[in-house]
Amino acid sequence: MRQSLGETRSSVGTRHALICPDSHERTTLPGWPGSQIIILASPQIGAKFVEYFVEMAPGTKAGAPAAGIERFFFVLEGEAALSLDGENHAMTVEGYAFLPAGKAHTISSAAGAKLAVIERHYVRLEGTAGPKPLVNNARNLPVARLKGDDRLPLQKLLPEDLAFDCEVNIMGFEPGASLHYVETHFMEHGLVMLDGGGVYRLDNSWYSVSAGDFIWMGPFCPQWFGAIGRTNARYLIYKNWNRTPF
Protein backbone atom coordinates (compact mmCIF):
# COMPACT_ATOMS: atom_id res chain seq x y z
CA MET A 1 0.00 0.00 0.00
CA ARG A 2 1.28 3.51 -0.87
CA GLN A 3 2.32 5.51 2.16
CA SER A 4 -0.09 8.43 2.74
CA LEU A 5 1.36 11.91 2.57
CA GLY A 6 -1.68 13.27 4.40
CA GLU A 7 -3.55 14.16 1.22
CA THR A 8 -7.10 13.29 0.21
CA ARG A 9 -9.79 14.64 -2.11
CA SER A 10 -12.29 14.14 0.74
CA SER A 11 -13.60 17.35 2.25
CA VAL A 12 -16.11 17.80 5.07
CA GLY A 13 -17.87 21.11 5.60
CA THR A 14 -20.91 22.26 7.55
CA ARG A 15 -23.37 21.94 4.65
CA HIS A 16 -21.74 19.41 2.36
CA ALA A 17 -19.18 16.62 2.35
CA LEU A 18 -17.23 14.79 -0.32
CA ILE A 19 -16.12 11.33 0.83
CA CYS A 20 -13.63 9.65 -1.50
CA PRO A 21 -12.44 6.03 -1.48
CA ASP A 22 -8.93 7.00 -0.30
CA SER A 23 -10.33 8.06 3.08
CA HIS A 24 -12.86 5.26 3.66
CA GLU A 25 -12.88 3.95 7.21
CA ARG A 26 -14.35 0.47 7.52
CA THR A 27 -16.38 -0.51 10.55
CA THR A 28 -18.79 -3.25 11.58
CA LEU A 29 -22.49 -2.96 12.41
CA PRO A 30 -24.44 -5.48 14.51
CA GLY A 31 -27.12 -5.71 11.79
CA TRP A 32 -24.54 -6.81 9.16
CA PRO A 33 -22.45 -9.55 10.79
CA GLY A 34 -19.30 -10.35 8.79
CA SER A 35 -19.66 -7.32 6.47
CA GLN A 36 -17.50 -4.21 6.27
CA ILE A 37 -19.45 -0.96 6.51
CA ILE A 38 -18.41 2.49 5.29
CA ILE A 39 -20.75 5.10 6.75
CA LEU A 40 -20.99 8.00 4.29
CA ALA A 41 -23.71 10.21 5.77
CA SER A 42 -25.36 10.10 9.17
CA PRO A 43 -26.82 12.47 11.79
CA GLN A 44 -23.27 13.08 13.06
CA ILE A 45 -22.48 15.01 9.87
CA GLY A 46 -25.82 16.81 9.94
CA ALA A 47 -27.83 14.49 7.67
CA LYS A 48 -31.38 13.39 8.46
CA PHE A 49 -30.72 10.01 6.82
CA VAL A 50 -28.00 7.38 6.89
CA GLU A 51 -26.19 6.17 3.79
CA TYR A 52 -23.43 3.57 3.70
CA PHE A 53 -21.56 1.13 1.52
CA VAL A 54 -21.68 -2.50 2.61
CA GLU A 55 -18.94 -4.87 1.51
CA MET A 56 -20.61 -8.25 2.01
CA ALA A 57 -18.17 -11.11 2.37
CA PRO A 58 -19.23 -14.40 0.74
CA GLY A 59 -21.81 -16.20 2.89
CA THR A 60 -22.94 -13.16 4.94
CA LYS A 61 -26.46 -11.89 5.53
CA ALA A 62 -28.44 -9.12 7.22
CA GLY A 63 -31.96 -8.63 8.54
CA ALA A 64 -34.25 -5.59 8.55
CA PRO A 65 -33.28 -2.31 10.27
CA ALA A 66 -34.82 -1.06 13.55
CA ALA A 67 -38.55 -0.27 13.91
CA GLY A 68 -39.69 2.80 11.97
CA ILE A 69 -36.70 2.79 9.57
CA GLU A 70 -37.21 2.31 5.84
CA ARG A 71 -34.40 0.95 3.69
CA PHE A 72 -33.34 1.29 0.04
CA PHE A 73 -30.40 -0.67 -1.31
CA PHE A 74 -28.65 -0.81 -4.69
CA VAL A 75 -26.17 -3.45 -5.87
CA LEU A 76 -22.91 -1.81 -6.95
CA GLU A 77 -20.82 -4.98 -7.41
CA GLY A 78 -21.29 -8.74 -7.16
CA GLU A 79 -24.54 -10.54 -6.47
CA ALA A 80 -26.95 -10.56 -3.56
CA ALA A 81 -30.29 -12.17 -2.78
CA LEU A 82 -33.30 -10.61 -1.10
CA SER A 83 -35.72 -12.83 0.77
CA LEU A 84 -39.07 -11.09 1.10
CA ASP A 85 -42.57 -12.43 1.76
CA GLY A 86 -41.43 -16.01 1.16
CA GLU A 87 -39.83 -15.19 -2.21
CA ASN A 88 -36.12 -15.13 -3.02
CA HIS A 89 -34.99 -12.41 -5.46
CA ALA A 90 -31.58 -12.76 -7.15
CA MET A 91 -30.07 -9.28 -7.37
CA THR A 92 -27.31 -8.45 -9.82
CA VAL A 93 -25.50 -5.16 -10.48
CA GLU A 94 -27.95 -2.20 -10.58
CA GLY A 95 -30.59 -4.35 -8.87
CA TYR A 96 -32.31 -2.42 -6.12
CA ALA A 97 -35.05 -2.77 -3.52
CA PHE A 98 -37.15 -0.52 -1.33
CA LEU A 99 -38.22 -2.02 1.99
CA PRO A 100 -40.85 -0.03 3.91
CA ALA A 101 -40.37 0.50 7.65
CA GLY A 102 -41.32 -2.64 9.58
CA LYS A 103 -41.01 -4.98 6.55
CA ALA A 104 -39.22 -8.20 7.50
CA HIS A 105 -36.56 -9.26 4.98
CA THR A 106 -33.13 -10.84 4.68
CA ILE A 107 -30.31 -9.74 2.37
CA SER A 108 -27.64 -12.35 1.72
CA SER A 109 -24.70 -12.86 -0.60
CA ALA A 110 -23.25 -16.25 -1.50
CA ALA A 111 -20.28 -14.92 -3.51
CA GLY A 112 -19.86 -11.39 -2.09
CA ALA A 113 -21.34 -8.05 -3.04
CA LYS A 114 -21.00 -4.31 -2.56
CA LEU A 115 -24.20 -2.40 -1.84
CA ALA A 116 -25.15 1.24 -1.35
CA VAL A 117 -27.75 1.42 1.44
CA ILE A 118 -29.97 4.37 2.37
CA GLU A 119 -32.04 4.36 5.56
CA ARG A 120 -34.29 6.96 7.17
CA HIS A 121 -37.14 7.34 9.65
CA TYR A 122 -40.29 6.97 7.60
CA VAL A 123 -42.69 9.93 7.77
CA ARG A 124 -46.25 8.81 7.07
CA LEU A 125 -48.59 11.21 5.29
CA GLU A 126 -51.86 11.38 7.19
CA GLY A 127 -54.65 9.58 5.38
CA THR A 128 -52.33 7.43 3.23
CA ALA A 129 -51.22 3.83 3.62
CA GLY A 130 -47.46 3.26 3.72
CA PRO A 131 -45.53 2.39 0.54
CA LYS A 132 -45.26 -1.18 -0.72
CA PRO A 133 -41.95 -3.04 -1.07
CA LEU A 134 -40.33 -2.87 -4.46
CA VAL A 135 -37.63 -4.99 -6.17
CA ASN A 136 -36.29 -4.12 -9.62
CA ASN A 137 -33.18 -3.47 -11.68
CA ALA A 138 -32.35 0.00 -12.99
CA ARG A 139 -31.43 -1.60 -16.33
CA ASN A 140 -35.15 -2.38 -16.81
CA LEU A 141 -36.31 1.18 -16.19
CA PRO A 142 -37.38 3.70 -18.82
CA VAL A 143 -35.12 6.71 -19.39
CA ALA A 144 -36.65 10.20 -19.24
CA ARG A 145 -34.83 13.51 -19.79
CA LEU A 146 -34.18 16.10 -17.07
CA LYS A 147 -35.91 19.36 -18.08
CA GLY A 148 -36.42 17.88 -21.57
CA ASP A 149 -32.65 18.03 -22.23
CA ASP A 150 -31.67 14.98 -24.30
CA ARG A 151 -28.12 15.16 -22.86
CA LEU A 152 -29.46 14.57 -19.34
CA PRO A 153 -30.94 11.05 -19.07
CA LEU A 154 -32.94 10.45 -15.90
CA GLN A 155 -34.29 7.27 -14.31
CA LYS A 156 -36.69 7.32 -11.37
CA LEU A 157 -36.19 4.23 -9.22
CA LEU A 158 -39.24 4.74 -6.97
CA PRO A 159 -42.86 5.31 -8.01
CA GLU A 160 -44.27 8.84 -8.10
CA ASP A 161 -46.62 8.18 -5.19
CA LEU A 162 -47.25 10.38 -2.11
CA ALA A 163 -46.84 7.33 0.12
CA PHE A 164 -43.07 7.62 -0.50
CA ASP A 165 -41.27 10.27 1.56
CA CYS A 166 -38.11 10.10 -0.54
CA GLU A 167 -36.92 9.81 -4.13
CA VAL A 168 -33.98 7.87 -5.53
CA ASN A 169 -32.96 8.65 -9.10
CA ILE A 170 -30.12 7.90 -11.48
CA MET A 171 -29.05 11.05 -13.29
CA GLY A 172 -26.86 10.90 -16.36
CA PHE A 173 -24.80 13.57 -18.12
CA GLU A 174 -23.34 13.27 -21.57
CA PRO A 175 -19.76 14.62 -21.78
CA GLY A 176 -19.93 18.41 -21.49
CA ALA A 177 -23.54 18.46 -20.22
CA SER A 178 -24.36 20.11 -16.91
CA LEU A 179 -27.22 20.97 -14.57
CA HIS A 180 -29.03 23.95 -16.07
CA TYR A 181 -28.55 26.16 -13.00
CA VAL A 182 -27.10 26.17 -9.50
CA GLU A 183 -29.81 24.53 -7.37
CA THR A 184 -30.57 25.67 -3.82
CA HIS A 185 -33.33 23.69 -2.11
CA PHE A 186 -34.44 22.55 1.32
CA MET A 187 -34.10 18.88 0.43
CA GLU A 188 -30.91 16.97 1.24
CA HIS A 189 -29.03 14.64 -1.07
CA GLY A 190 -26.89 11.54 -0.72
CA LEU A 191 -25.07 10.97 -4.04
CA VAL A 192 -22.95 8.05 -5.24
CA MET A 193 -20.96 8.60 -8.44
CA LEU A 194 -21.55 5.47 -10.54
CA ASP A 195 -19.67 6.26 -13.75
CA GLY A 196 -17.48 8.91 -15.30
CA GLY A 197 -16.69 12.18 -13.64
CA GLY A 198 -16.78 15.92 -13.73
CA VAL A 199 -16.84 18.99 -11.56
CA TYR A 200 -19.24 19.38 -8.63
CA ARG A 201 -19.91 22.82 -7.22
CA LEU A 202 -20.95 22.60 -3.53
CA ASP A 203 -21.42 25.88 -1.65
CA ASN A 204 -18.58 28.03 -2.99
CA SER A 205 -16.16 25.17 -3.69
CA TRP A 206 -15.59 23.22 -6.90
CA TYR A 207 -14.47 19.59 -6.67
CA SER A 208 -13.34 17.09 -9.29
CA VAL A 209 -15.34 13.91 -8.70
CA SER A 210 -15.33 10.45 -10.23
CA ALA A 211 -16.88 6.98 -9.89
CA GLY A 212 -16.79 5.71 -6.30
CA ASP A 213 -17.07 9.17 -4.70
CA PHE A 214 -19.93 10.05 -2.35
CA ILE A 215 -21.38 13.50 -1.72
CA TRP A 216 -23.69 14.66 1.06
CA MET A 217 -25.53 17.90 0.29
CA GLY A 218 -27.32 19.45 3.23
CA PRO A 219 -30.40 21.68 2.98
CA PHE A 220 -29.89 24.76 0.78
CA CYS A 221 -26.36 23.76 -0.21
CA PRO A 222 -25.81 25.46 -3.59
CA GLN A 223 -25.12 22.62 -6.05
CA TRP A 224 -24.16 22.26 -9.69
CA PHE A 225 -22.49 19.52 -11.76
CA GLY A 226 -20.83 19.50 -15.16
CA ALA A 227 -19.57 16.28 -16.79
CA ILE A 228 -16.05 16.11 -18.17
CA GLY A 229 -14.44 13.37 -20.21
CA ARG A 230 -15.37 11.07 -23.06
CA THR A 231 -17.95 8.88 -21.35
CA ASN A 232 -21.27 9.65 -19.67
CA ALA A 233 -21.21 10.54 -15.98
CA ARG A 234 -23.96 8.95 -13.88
CA TYR A 235 -24.94 9.24 -10.25
CA LEU A 236 -27.40 7.62 -7.87
CA ILE A 237 -29.08 10.38 -5.88
CA TYR A 238 -31.37 10.31 -2.83
CA LYS A 239 -33.55 13.17 -1.72
CA ASN A 240 -36.28 13.68 0.86
CA TRP A 241 -39.46 14.26 -1.08
CA ASN A 242 -43.25 14.65 -0.90
CA ARG A 243 -43.26 16.10 2.62
CA THR A 244 -43.61 19.62 4.01
CA PRO A 245 -40.41 21.19 5.37
CA PHE A 246 -42.16 21.75 8.74
Contact residues for ligand UGY, defined by CB under 6 A: 171, 179, 183, 189, 223, 225, 237, 239
Nearer to ligand UGY among residue 114 and residue 189 (C-beta)? 189
CA–CA dist 151, 234 (Å, integer): 12
Q: Does 79 bind Mn ion (CB under 5 A)?
A: no
Q: Which does 171 bind (CB under 5 to 8 A by kind): ligand UGY, Mn ion, none?
A: ligand UGY
Nearer to Mn ion, 183 or 203 (CB): 183
Is 245:186 a contact under the CB 8 Å cutoff?
yes
Does 195 help bind Mn ion (rule: CB under 5 A)?
A: no
Query: Rounded to the nearest whole angstrom, what is the least distance from the CB of residue 236 to Mn ion in the complex?
Result: 13
Q: Which is nearer to ligand UGY, 60 or 223 (CB)?
A: 223
| Contact partner at residue 158 from ligand UGY, Mn ion, none, CB < 5 to 8 Å by partner kind | none
Min. distance of Cβ 82 from Mn ion in angstroms? 29
User: Least separation, in Å, of the C-beta of 221 and Mn ion?
Assistant: 9
Residue 223 Cβ vs Mn ion, minimum distance, rounded to whole Å: 5
CA distance 115 to 178: 27
Residue 140, SS3? helix
Instruction: State how far the alpha carbon of 41 is from the alpha carbons of 14, 70, 138, 154, 199, in Å.
Output: 12, 16, 23, 24, 21
- For residues 109 and 80, is the Cβ–Cβ distance under 8 A? yes
DSSP 149-160: -TTSEEEE-S-S
How many of the other CB atoms lie within 10 Å of CB of 75? 24
Contact set for Mn ion, span 165-194 (CB under 5 A): 183
Query: Contact residues for Mn ion (CB under 5 A)?
Result: 183
